[in-house]
Structures are given as C-alpha cells and as structure tokens.
Structure 1
C-alpha cells in the first residue's frame, strides 16, 4: 500500500471512529437525560469532539438523533440475533434471547425514545418496521426449530406467537424505561418466561436457569 493509500485508510478509520463515538455519546446522554434535554454541545463534550465535527457528519441535532436511533436499534438487533446463534438447543436459544431482551434500563429508555420519536416522525416508520422484522425473524427461526424438534408446541401460528412474545417484551421495556413501581428485574423475568411459555405450550421455569 502506498503512502497516500495508507493515509487515506487512516483518515477513513478516524472518520468512522469519530462518528461512532458521537453516536454512542448521544445514546448515553439520551438514556440519562431524554431527547429534549440533549444539545449538540453536550454530545460534543461527552464524545470529546468539537461541535463542528458533529455538524460535519450529521449537519444538525435532528439528523444526529435520527442516526443515533437507527444505529443503536440495528446494533442491538444484530447482538440479539447473535445470542441465539451461539447455541444449538432451541430452548437455550429462546431463554438466552429472553434473558437479554430487557436486561438494562438504558437500552429500554433508548427504545422507548425511539418509538416515541417515530410516532411523531412517521417517515422513520420503515426503519422501525425493519427492526421489528429482524426481531421477529430471529424468534420465528428459534420457535420453528423447537416445534420441529418437539420441544415447543405453539398455541397459534408461529409468527403470531413470535409477535405475542415481542408485545410482552415491548410492554416490559416500557415499564423498565419509566421505572414503573413494582417492575423489578426478577418480576419482569418471571412474567416474560411465564407468558412466553404459555404461548409456546411449554414451561420455561427450569429452562430459565440455563445461561
């Protein structure tokens, strides 16, 4: 590689790294302060860059917020799918997916902000739909494998069962995000495994202990 090509590669890497830091900084701040209270200068300070650099990549605050929601959601969908691919047993796959669905408040807060933002900006609905489609595809694959192996006995069409589990996850994520009284981690886990088990015609009480 020539000196010019090396320099260009370094510049591309630094640009990508700076952009990633900015997006992650915005995500952290929104999780703590909410969308309305986060300003470009806050993100610049958190990311260790200038406001001008943020504007270079994202033009303005609204574009930054939009890109942050998209990047955070797609990253977490990819991570979630990875959990299922790390094992072969469908029960362990499902349990692992559920274990990671609502594991931290920051994730839940950002997701709630994402859905709220989309409700006010319907042009981003296709992006949100793709995220739901990715969740659904992962769950459907695991459920179909479990049904084929005789482990799961879905109480309805597989896609309907997957959507039902997603609805439970969504509801619990909202409760966690707003810190609703009584929704402890232990209770949320118990409700999620119980409702998922009902939809799948199987008890997940013992299986839940598998990591």
Structure 2
C-alpha cells in the first residue's frame, strides 16, 4: 500500500525550510535544491508542490503570517503590556530575522505584481485586526472599531519601521534597542489614544 503523504504538512515543511534559506541567502540567491536540502526532501518534491521561487516565497510568507497569528498572547492588562505584545512582532532573534527577510523579499516582489500586492494587503489586514483587538482591551469600550483599526495601523507602521532598520543593520539593532525604540514610539501614542474619549461620550 503506497505511503500516505500529508500534503499540507509537507508544504509547510518546505515553506519553513524556505524561510531559513531565504533568510540566510536572500531570495535572488535562493536555489530550490538548497531549500530541498534544508527540508530534507528531493528537489523534485519542491517543484511538485511549488511552481518556481515566487510560489515558494508566497508559501514562506504564508507560513510567517501563520506563525504571527497563531503566536499565543494573553489580552494585555495595560498599555505597556500592549507594547510588549507588539514588540513580539519584531525580529528579536535569528528566527525572527529570517522571517522578516522573507517579509521584505515579498515586499520587493509585490511592488510590481498586483496579485502579490493583494496577498500582502490581506495579510496586513489580518494582523491589523489582531492588534486592534488587543488595543481594545486597554481603551474605552465606546471607541469605534474604525478608530481602533486606525490606531492598530499606526502601531504596525512603527513595528515595520523598527523591523526594517533591524534587517538592514542587525548588528546595530539588538533586541533591547528594538524594544526600547518601539516603546518610545508607541507609549505616548497609545496613552493619548486610551485617554482620548471625547468623541465617544454619549
């Protein structure tokens, strides 16, 4: 009886290997055989599941986003806890740095590809929704969802800024500097947002 293959699990294994390889070599220098070796599969297995490097990059990004969205995080008790959770999105370690390199490689591809831009917008929307849910726990329940989403977008923009600097200058941006910088950016903004309920009073 032929061995049953879990297609979803195999694709995730290869996508995870692609994150490691792209993170180390960059998308342009990534070879399918290197991804195959990292995943402990044949090159034929990689080409069976993925039609070229763009498809592999898209799967790698999907795996990055899955990790972000499935990362456990309790509802923050206060603004500083909310900032700490936001900091968990940063490239704080080698694994995070590899994931961010995939994210930025996808940015570069998406700039000239409307389909990839649509994928990127969808992932951003999911992450913004998650951040907005956390901000909602430390603000007035009367804050409209649109305002929460706008605030979450600003939080994510700050995370992007610190994350991009770290990817470009990893030796200059250790984890503690990333966290401190993000806190400097977010603490005044979230404090003002949490206490500005003038528009929401009945």
TM-score, length-normalised on structure 2? 0.79
Aligned to 2:48: 56
- The answer on 1:19 being equivalent to 2:7 is no
Aligned to 1:34: 26
For residue 108 of structure 1, the aligned residue among 86, 90, 100 is: 100
Shift of 1:181: 6.2
Structure 1 residue runs without a partner (length 5+): 1-6, 203-211
Shift of 1:159: 2.6
Cα distance change of structure 1 residues 146 and 87 upon mapping to structure 2, 3 Å threshold: closer
- The answer on 1:72 being equivalent to 2:63 is yes
Which structure features the higher share of helix residues? 1
Shift of 1:171: 0.7
Distance 2:171 2:36 in 1: 34
- The answer on 1:43 being equivalent to 2:9 is no
Structure 2 residue runs without a partner (length 5+): 193-202
Instruction: Report SS of the residue matched to 2:70.
Output: helix
In the TM superposition, structure 1's runs of 4+ consecutive aligned residues that sit over 6 Å from their partners are none
Distance 1:58 1:165 in 2: 34
CA RMSD of aligned residues (A): 2.7
Shift of 1:124: 1.1
TM-score, length-normalised on structure 1? 0.76
Shift of 1:100: 0.7
Matches within 5 A, 1:158-169: 158-169=148-159
Computing the radius of gyration from Cα coordinates, the structure with the larger value is 1
